[in-house]
Structure 1
Amino acid sequence: MEAQLFYMGTSKILEIRKGGATTFTWGSYGPWTKLKKPVASKTKSVKYSKSAKDKAGSASGFKAGGVTLCDTNIPATAQRTIDGVERTCDVRYQVRGYTIYSRTAALKKKKKMKRSTYTTGKPYQYRLQYADKAIVDKEYSTYVDSEAIFFFADHYFDSAGSRVNTSSHLPHPCECSLTYSDVRRNFESSANNSDGRDNSGSYILSNVRANVVMLTLKWAGVTEEEGETILQVLNPSKNTKGQYNYITIQYLDPATGKSKNGTFFASSERSIVKYPSGAFKEIGVSLMEV
């Protein structure tokens, strides 16, 4: 059988706990918080401006917790509830500068205001990151560049196009179909908006993007553990910024006969039929390229 789907990857925090050892890596963030006693790098009087606003600076790299900074205790560990269980997680932190404007009555009389500048060397705020993202160590998955990668064939292709064999993989879809579509937009102002034709009756449509891929996948007769794993990858969830995750996929491009990587999102419906035993009779999904 020719493999059509090589792997799927997701950056979401997975809830899979079966069939493998769970380790934890850096996951969720705490909010940006003002240090107790920040010391400005520079403070000066500047021309008064009503519209000037406080502005955050760029963030530093991460450092290990367990320190005191500007009279603020930054812990080395913290208790986090993960999948209903309270765990002790490692903590690291980053800082950032800020530009703060102060407008006192005395300064306003002089048409002045105070500008205090904080930097990563003399920071104003900090935030914590917790090692609370679960990684399940399974034969059919790996963890690369903040993504959990799940294999669906006995091999995949690396960035150089070389074949890499896998020691194990999830069941390959029993059905895998692909559809190309073009994204079009009307750029011609003289075109009739109702049918996209100009005054001479010619089409004035132009492709904005060609060959956008839609993958339709179906699995049949997979175990309860395998089905739950597949659904964990397919079902989106919000990250710390309130955005839903995408799915990275390596698939066989029928136009070239070669593997191709793409970024996809699942359609609004994932169809599921289960047996009374808990095994999955069928899982179906359509995935649209971003």
Structure 2
Amino acid sequence: MTETQLFFLAGSGVKEIRKGGTVTSWGWGSAGSWTKLKEPKKSSYKKVKYNKKNKSKAGKASGWKLGNNNTLCGTVMPKSAVRQVDGVERTVDVRYRVRGYTFYGKKKKVKKKSVQYKTTYTTAKPYQYQLQYKDKPSVATTYSTFKDTDGKYYAYFSPVYYDGDAQVNSPSRMKHPTSFNVTYGEVRKNLNSTANNNESRDNSGTYVYTNVRSNIVKLELEWTGLNPEEGQELLNVLNATNTYTGVNETTLKNNYIIAQYLDPQTGKAKNGTFFPSDRKVEKYPNGMYKSVSVTLTEV
């Protein structure tokens, strides 16, 4: 019976439409920049004591509201818009939010006093607006899944994986690596401050070192014979240096790869955080992937 060596890889990256994938739903995706309303109305305008620490700044944003072609401070909040999604024009829903702003004028002298004028806008009387478009597809494929809860993109290589001690059925499955090698290594340092020979030997020539950290794992992985869809899905996981704006508008920076693999020392599944080497890709003229190889080094 073949033993599973790699259970899953998880990397950051926004899920894209892939050939053969099915769009199951649409979520709120790209957003425009903050833009001044055509006719903003001041909430207050008053004279205040001058302070060089006073800086103009944006206020807190309001919650999102669906556009309904209504006019707000002279600007129309559209109900829908045409967006390019994977090279195809689609009409998508639009929502908006607003924010206030506080402006401080220049320093002035009034009756021997230094003053400046403070102009305030609020969410009730806003200064700027931002549009967001429902143009983010959730795509189901045979090979991988995207979890909106943690902003990571998962590829599974076994029928099951482990959540703690519990065995869980994988929601999808990609081809297992044809080559899987584990290397354990150490970070060593010579702590003999009087040594002047080199960093690894003392003045008598004896090798002296201290293990700063032991058993750092390095995974050497190679896949062969992947079809175009599988190859693209795999690289979308391995190319993990993207950011993802997830629920509650939180931007998650996931520059590392999480791997669950079979630890040769214990014979049990183990999770680790890794950074990838260069991803080497070889393809055949017909679009098939001859090989995809990468080395993952534990962080």
SS at match of 1:111: strand
2:108–2:115 CA contact under 8 A, matched in 1: no
SS at match of 1:36: coil
Matching of residue 86 in structure 1 with residue 89 in structure 2: yes
| Count of aligned positions | 287
Q: How does 1:126-141 map to 2 (within 5 A)?
A: 126-141=129-144
Q: Write the deviation string for residues 234-286 of structure 1: whole angstroms up to 9, x where unpaired.
A: 2356558999853543412625554444554432x211222333222211012
- Give the structure 2 partner of residue 216 of structure 1: 220
Matching of residue 266 in structure 1 with residue 271 in structure 2: no
Structure 1, unaligned runs of 5 or more: none
Matching of residue 230 in structure 1 with residue 234 in structure 2: yes
SS at match of 1:31: coil
Matching of residue 63 in structure 1 with residue 43 in structure 2: no
2:190–2:199 CA contact under 8 A, matched in 1: no
Structure 2 CA distance for partners of 1:161 and 1:95, relative to 1, 3 Å? farther
Distance 2:83 2:112 in 1: 51
What is the letter of the counterpart of residue 104 of structure 2?
Answer: Y
- Give the structure 2 partner of residue 143 of structure 1: 146
Aligned residues with identical type, % of pairs: 47
- Cα distance, 1:154 vs structure 2: 0.6
Larger Rg: 2
- Cα distance, 1:41 vs structure 2: 4.4
1:248–1:261 CA contact under 8 A, matched in 2: no
Q: Write the deviation string for residues 184-209 of structure 1: whole angstroms up to 9, x where unpaired.
A: 899999998x849999x9989895x7
Distance 2:272 2:111 in 1: 56
2:14–2:244 CA contact under 8 A, matched in 1: no
SS at match of 1:232: helix
What is the letter of the counterpart of residue 124 of structure 1?
Answer: Y
Structure 2 CA distance for partners of 1:59 and 1:221, relative to 1, 3 Å? same
Distance 1:88 1:191 in 2: 71
2:143–2:230 CA contact under 8 A, matched in 1: no
1:238–1:245 CA contact under 8 A, matched in 2: yes
Q: How does 1:186-197 map to 2 (within 5 A)?
A: 195=199
- Give the structure 2 partner of residue 276 of structure 1: 285
Q: Write the deviation string for residues 194-236 of structure 1: whole angstroms up to 9, x where unpaired.
A: 849999x9989895x7766543321012222211221232235
Matching of residue 100 in structure 1 with residue 103 in structure 2: yes
Structure 2 CA distance for partners of 1:13 and 1:98, relative to 1, 3 Å? same
Distance 1:83 1:118 in 2: 38
- Cα distance, 1:49 vs structure 2: 2.8
2:48–2:117 CA contact under 8 A, matched in 1: yes
Structure 2 CA distance for partners of 1:179 and 1:80, relative to 1, 3 Å? farther
1:27–1:130 CA contact under 8 A, matched in 2: yes
Structure 2 CA distance for partners of 1:282 and 1:124, relative to 1, 3 Å? same
Which of residues 166, 169, 174 is equivalent to 2:173? 169
Matching of residue 123 in structure 1 with residue 126 in structure 2: yes
- Give the structure 1 partner of residue 248 of structure 2: none
- Give the structure 1 partner of residue 7 of structure 2: 6
Q: Write the deviation string for residues 99-126 of structure 1: whole angstroms up to 9, x where unpaired.
A: 2212275769741112234444443322
Matching of residue 249 in structure 1 with residue 252 in structure 2: no
Further displaced range: 33-42 or 167-176? 33-42
Structure 2 CA distance for partners of 1:275 and 1:286, relative to 1, 3 Å? same
Matching of residue 77 in structure 1 with residue 87 in structure 2: no
Structure 2 CA distance for partners of 1:123 and 1:288, relative to 1, 3 Å? farther
Distance 1:186 1:39 in 2: 68
TM-score (norm 1): 0.76
Distance 2:8 2:241 in 1: 19
Structure 2, unaligned runs of 5 or more: 246-250
Structure 2 CA distance for partners of 1:224 and 1:32, relative to 1, 3 Å? same
Distance 1:141 1:60 in 2: 35
